[in-house]
Amino acid sequence: MLEVENLSMRFGGLLAVDGVSLKISDKEIVSIIGPNGAGKTTVFNCISGFYRPTGGKVKLDGVEIQGLPDYKISRKGMVRTFQHVRLFNSMTVIENLLVAQHRHVNTNLLAGLFTTPSYRRKEREAMDHAAYWLEKVNLLDLANREAGNLAYGQQRRLEIARCMVTKPRMLMLDEPAAGLNPRETKDLDELIVSLKEDYNIAILLIEHDMSLVMGISDEIVVINQGQPLASGKPEEIRTNPDVIKAYLGEV
Ligand SMILES: Nc1ncnc2c1ncn2[C@@H]1O[C@H](COP(=O)(O)OP(=O)(O)OP(=O)(O)O)[C@@H](O)[C@H]1O
C-alpha cells in the first residue's frame, strides 16, 4: 500500500533523515524505533505532508505523493496523531469528532444554510459514527465533556477516535503510549490490534515503549542518526547487535 524509498530531509546543515526506506501493506503494523533525535518524527512529517522531503519517494498504491500538502494526504486515507495531543480543548468530546468529519468531507454551504433533508441525514450519520467510535475507545460516557478537561490517557484515545471517524486506510501514531500508565498502555495495545484485525487498517507507529512495539509489530524499522540501521521482525530486531549497541549508547 505505502512505500517509502530512500527518503531524506535536510534542515540547513543537518541531514535529519538520510536514505530511509520502508513498506507497509494493508492490515499491517509497522513500527519505527530509534534513539531520541534519530529522525522518526521527521519521517512521519515527510510521509504525512507536513514537510516536503529533500529527496526520495513516498508512493501510495504505486502513485508518488511526496510533497503533497497534509490535507490532500489525509483525504487519501492516511491520517496521523501527534507526539503532543492536539485537540480542540474548548469543544466537547463529540464536537471534536464532528468537526473532524466535516473537515474531511466537502460539505455544501447552501445545503447547510437551508438544512436540506440530505444535509440532515449526513449530520445524523456523522453523529452515529462519532458515537460508535466513542464507544469503541471507551469515552461515550464523556461525550459532552470539554476535551481539555479529559485525563491525558482519555485525550490520547480521543485523538485516535478523531482519526478513525474519517475512515482512514492507514493510521500514523506518534508515540501514542507516552505518558500512559500500564493499564492504559494495555488498553491502547488492544485498541491498536483491533484497528488492524477488525477494521483492516494499516498502522505506522513511532513508540519508545519496547514491550508494546515488540508485542504488536509485524515489522520494525530502526533508524539511528537519520540513517536506517536495521529492519525485520520483532525477534530479529531484539537480538540484532547493531540495534542493541545503538540503544546502549544512548544510556
Ligand atoms: N523543523 C526542524 N528544523 C530543524 N531541525 C529539525 C526540525 N525537525 C527536526 N529537526 C532535527 O532533526 C533531528 C531529528 O528529529 P526528530 O524529531 O525527527 O527525531 P525523533 O527520532 O522523532 O526524536 P524523539 O524520539 O526525541 O521524538 C533532530 O536533530 C532535530 O533537532
Q: What spacing in Å lies between the alpha carbon of 211 and ligand 1's midpoint? A: 24
What confidence score (pLDDT) does residue 69 get? 94
Per-residue b/e over 116-132, b at no fewer than 16 CB within 10 Å? eeebeebbeebeebbee
| Band of residue 103 on the pLDDT scale cut at 50, 70, 90 | low
| Ligand 1 atom, smallest distance to 9 CA | 12
Confidence of residue 251 (pLDDT cuts 50, 70, 90): very low
Candidate from 8, 14, 47 with most ligand 1 atoms within 8 A of CB, to mutate = 14
Model confidence over 26-85: pLDDT tens digits? 999 999 999 999 999 999 999 999 999 999 999 999 999 999 999 999 999 999 998 887
- d(CA 108, CA 92) in angstroms, rounded, equals 24
16 C-beta closer than 6 A to ligand 1: yes
Indicate if the pLDDT at residue 118 is higher than 80: no
Identify the pLDDT of residue 245.
Answer: 87
Looking at residue 111, what is its pLDDT? 66
Give the pLDDT of residue 121: 85
Residue 55's DSSP bridge partners are 8
- Return the C-alpha cell found at 138: 471507551
Instruction: Copy the grid coordinates of residue 48.
Output: 504525512
Partners of 173 in beta bridges = 205
Q: Helices marked H in the chain — which ranges?
A: 40-47, 70-75, 93-104, 109-113, 117-136, 152-164, 182-199, 210-216, 234-238, 241-250
Q: Give the number of other CB atoms < 10 A from CB of residue 221.
A: 25
Q: Is the pLDDT of residue 144 over 70?
A: yes
- The pLDDT assigned to 110 comes to 66
Of the pLDDT bands very low, low, confident and very high (cuts 50, 70, 90), residue 221 is very high
Residue 86's pLDDT is what?
85
> What does the pLDDT read at residue 108?
65
| Amino acid letter, residue 105 | V
pTM of the model: 0.90
Domains and CATH numbers, the chain: 2-248 (3.40.50.300)
- Does 37 contact ligand 1 (Cβ within 6 A)? yes
